[in-house]
Amino acid sequence: MQTVLHAAAMVPMSIPSPSWSGFDIPLPWGTLRIHAYALCILAGIIVGLWLTSARWKRRGAPEGSLWDIAIWAIPFGIIGGRLYHVFSSPDAYFGPGFDGTGDLSLIPQIQRGGLGIWGAVVLGAVGAWIGCRRAGVKLTAFLDAAAPGLLLAQAIGRLGNWFNQELFGAPTTLPWGLEIDPANANFPADMAADTLFHPTFLYEMLWNLAGVAILLLLDKKFHFRWGRLFWLYAVYYTLGRVWIEALRIDDAEQINLLGITTRLNVWTSIFVFIAALAIFFILGRRGRPVPDTPYLAGREPEEKKENEPVPVTSVTSHDVDASVSDTGSRGNLPDNQSDSGHVDEPQETAGKPEKDTASTTDSTPAATAARKAPGSTPDEGDTK
């Protein structure tokens, strides 16, 4: 018992922030700084693609199509995420009230942090649509396959905020309070150096990981289609983002609606939640598509035709035109030349007229003379 109490006493009553935020790679012309924030984003993308690849393959999607889509969706998503952050927190870039006192050179410096998920999802979906059109697959099918992987990537990416010591919440006395270096530029100037803060990065990370499990279980049970799993992802994520965002104390645009002033991301989360929930139920009324295929109409792979009839290459009297059939030839012969033991001979030309066949068969001198005699009438064997 004393050992347990001693071990409990040794457990820190707070979460320390890392002092390490990256490393330098020496180069002939200087050094290349690799930021931990960027590594977390990259790790999230890789793990998210791994999960999406496994799910996309089970949907019967064409091989290699995931990478055709990702090469468009990922750059578009990063650009969209950065643009949303810049315009939702503009003071550092444009100055308070867009007075021009900001530093525009900070806009492309993504390594410092600042990617808005809303812009990343919206512009990333545009990139995914381009990739899907080029690959011949449905965007809704891809979004359903990618939804859990997207949430997993967000969970891992949130670790980058921990390394950057940013986006933390209000002060707290909870045992899992987050320590922030007082010398860090993000530390609130009016607070004591030993102040602990809500680890909002950890809250969102755990919320997202739980969401990945929930989405996978629900999809396994209900087999969502038409993009419904993606909209369910949006419902779940925004539900958690509302209360997590409300805890944060970093600078952000404040919006007043209905007499309530709060952060822009809180209002965005509320509106996206309502819209996603409505779309989820509207799509549910369409029923399950039949057949369930990830391919766009007209882009399905061609199926190999089996049991096709083998074309006839040899020509015999049985293969000639129906008007010169075996039975017909024997029926047109005179009675004295038609017998059960007759064997058809190969015809020189498959398309030879029937009258030639009859004349060749009925070639006795008497018959020839009778046909040449003036006033003679056709014999029954000469009638077609």
Q: What's the CA gap between 324 and 36, in Å, rounded? A: 86
Backbone angles phi, psi at 257, to 5 degrees: -135, 135
Which single residue is written with the structure tokens 């056709």? 378
Mind listing the pLDDT tens digit of every residue in the chain (384 residues)? 556 445 444 555 789 999 888 888 888 888 888 889 999 999 999 999 999 999 999 988 888 899 999 999 999 999 999 999 888 888 888 888 777 788 888 888 877 777 888 899 999 999 999 999 999 999 999 999 999 999 999 999 999 999 999 999 999 999 999 999 999 989 998 899 999 999 999 999 999 999 999 999 999 999 888 999 999 999 999 999 999 999 999 888 888 888 888 888 899 999 999 999 999 999 988 766 556 788 888 777 776 444 445 554 444 444 444 444 444 444 444 444 444 444 444 444 444 444 444 444 444 444 444 444 444 444 444 444
Q: What's the CA gap between 117 and 208, in Å, rounded? A: 13
Cis before 291? omega within 30: yes
Task: Choose among 153, 74, 80: nearest CA to 123.
Answer: 80
Q: What's the CA gap between 167 and 354, in Å, rounded? A: 95
Q: Which amino acid is at 207?
A: W
pTM across the whole model: 0.72
Query: What are the residue ranges of helices labelled H in 136-263?
Result: 139-157, 159-164, 200-222, 228-247
CB 232 within 8 A of CB 226: no
Q: What's the CA gap between 132 and 187, in Å, rounded? A: 44
